Amino acid sequence: MIDKLKSIEKRFLELEGLLSNPDIIKDRKAYQAYSREHADLNPVVTAYREYADVLTELESSQELLKDNDPDIKELAREEVARLSVEQERLESELKTLMIPKDPLDDKNVIVEIRAGTGGDEAALFAGDLFRMYARYAENLGWKVEVLTHHATGVGGFKEVIALINGKGAYSAFKYESGTHRVQRVPTTETQGRIHTSAVTVAVLPEAEDVELDIDPNELKIDVYRSSGPGGQSVNTTDSAVRITHLPTGLVVTCQDEKSQHKNKAKAMKVLRSRLLDTMVREQNEKRSEDRKSQIGSGDRSGRIRTYNFPQGRVSDHRIGLTLYKLDAVMEGDLDEVISSLATFYQAQAMQNENTV
């Protein structure tokens, strides 16, 4: 670990030199890249330097244990005890800081929510989940933009896709991919029976233009009139857009805007993110299955969470977490759920790093 830390500190010093270089300062793109890398390494280097100071002090205190003066020996023993605790704390902190960071963590995120089994009740819960995520994001000061949605006549969503714009959005949402199960009495149920419905959530990092080079010749773009619930036309012009990526067969549609150009821009944003997600998952599959689960790509076909309304309970099945605060969770209070998931996967990542 010490060799790794020395190497990181060396790179940190190199970056400080680069950031003071006039040629680099003029090159905005290079300066931003080096600034980000410098900021990422700063916590590790700060902790390492503190750790090195503690080791030096500990060595000096251990030498004083050999002194003939009993008072000096007693003071030295107290210092050794204090510094040993500090050494252990810093070692733990450094191990956590040295876990390879998911390069997608700081990105904006696209959240796709779709009604699954359960008919109208599933569509209603898809709307509830969207509002839950939107409130959580807004509480953090992040912007939520609906890219496309297919509403149902009962006030829910067959599908809703939203962009959440905020630094670290992907790191917060990346464990939400999967099947979310709801158990409650639907508003349409006259006999008070509890129904079980399901909604699927897919979480994609927003792809930037520089990350994916999409050949326009590989896109088939169709335009048509948008429609609302029941199939009625909601526009008199061909403003809705359907984009098909021919090499992969991915299809994205958008009809939320009255402008064809705006719908195309939104559809391209979703397409880019789906292609990036596909590329990342393919890369992960070439690595071990442990590494794949470690970064939280998630099995989208697997049930990850249950929301039980009669008992006021929310349970995350991956980590065995059960909370009896369902009302608060549905209002966007997801901090405990998300921090518990992050802690679990971080511990898993540390274990994998230690076995390498």
Domain membership of residue 242 (yes or no) is: yes
Beta bridge partners of 198: 181
Written as six digits, the tokens of 176 are 């939400």
Same domain? For 210 and 323 the reply is yes
Residue with token string 């890249």:
33
Q: How many CB atoms lie within 10 A of CB 178?
A: 22
**102 in any annotated domain:** no
Q: What residues does 195 pair with on adjacent strands?
A: 184
Q: Is residue 104, in this structure, part of any structural domain at all?
A: no
Same domain for 193 and 320?
Answer: yes
Whole-prediction pTM: 0.64
Q: What stretch of H or E contains 259? A: none
> Are residues 184 and 312 located together in one domain of the fold?
yes
Token pair of 146 as six digits: 């609906």
Question: Is 206 in contact with 273 (CB distance < 8 Å)?
Answer: yes
Number of domains in the chain: 2
Beta strands in 246-337 (DSSP E): 250-254, 303-308, 313-316, 321-323
Domain that holds residue 298: 109-348
354: in domain: no
Do both 139 and 77 map to the same domain?
A: no
On whether both 10 and 129 belong to a single domain, the answer is no
**229 belongs to a structural domain:** yes
Eight-state DSSP code of residue 303 = E
Domain end, chosen from 97, 131, 148, is at: 97
Judge residue 187's burial from the number of C-beta atoms within 10 Å of its C-beta, 0-12 exposed, 13-18 middle, 19 or more buried.
exposed
Q: Give the Cβ contact number of residue 342 at 10 Å.
A: 15
Domain boundary at 69, 97, 125, which? Answer: 97
Identify the sign of the CA torsion 249, 255, 257, 260. positive
| Residue 333 one-letter amino acid | D
pLDDT at residue 315 in the model: 96
User: Same domain, yes or no, for 31 and 125?
Assistant: no
Task: Clarify whether residues 229 and 316 are in a common domain.
Answer: yes
**R_g over Cα of the chain:** 26
Pairwise CA distance, residues 157 & 132, whole Å: 14
Last-in-domain residue among 40, 66, 97 = 97
* Cβ proximity of 213 and 203 under 8 Å: no
Residue 227 φ then ψ, to 5°: -135, 155
Give 271's contacts (C-beta < 8 A, 6+ positions apart).
Answer: 214, 243, 245, 250, 252
Is residue 89 included in any domain, yes or no? yes
State whether 142 and 218 are in the same domain.
yes
Q: Which residue has the tokens 């500090």?
A: 86
Same domain, 93 and 213: no
Q: What Å distances lie between residue 12 and 43, 91, 93, 239, 303, CA to CA?
A: 11, 20, 18, 51, 43
Backbone angles phi, psi at 287, to 5 degrees: -95, -170
CB neighbourhood size of 23 (10 A): 9
CATH number of the structural domain spanning residue 56? 1.20.58
Q: Are residues 92 and 114 in the same domain?
A: no
- 253 and 329 together in one domain: yes
Question: Are 139 and 32 within one domain?
Answer: no
Q: DSSP secondary-structure letter at 230?
A: G
Averages of pLDDT over runs of 10 residues in the chain (356 residues) are 86 92 89 88 91 93 89 91 92 79 83 90 93 95 90 85 91 92 82 88 77 77 71 60 87 83 85 81 55 35 87 94 96 93 81 59
SS3 sequence, 116-184? CCCHHHHHHHHHHHHHHHHHHHHHCCCEEEEEEEEECCCCCEEEEEEEEECCCHHHHHHHHCEEEEEEE
| Rounded Cα distance, 224 and 260, in Å | 9
In a domain, 353, yes or no: no
Q: How far does Cα 14 stand from its chain's mean position?
A: 30
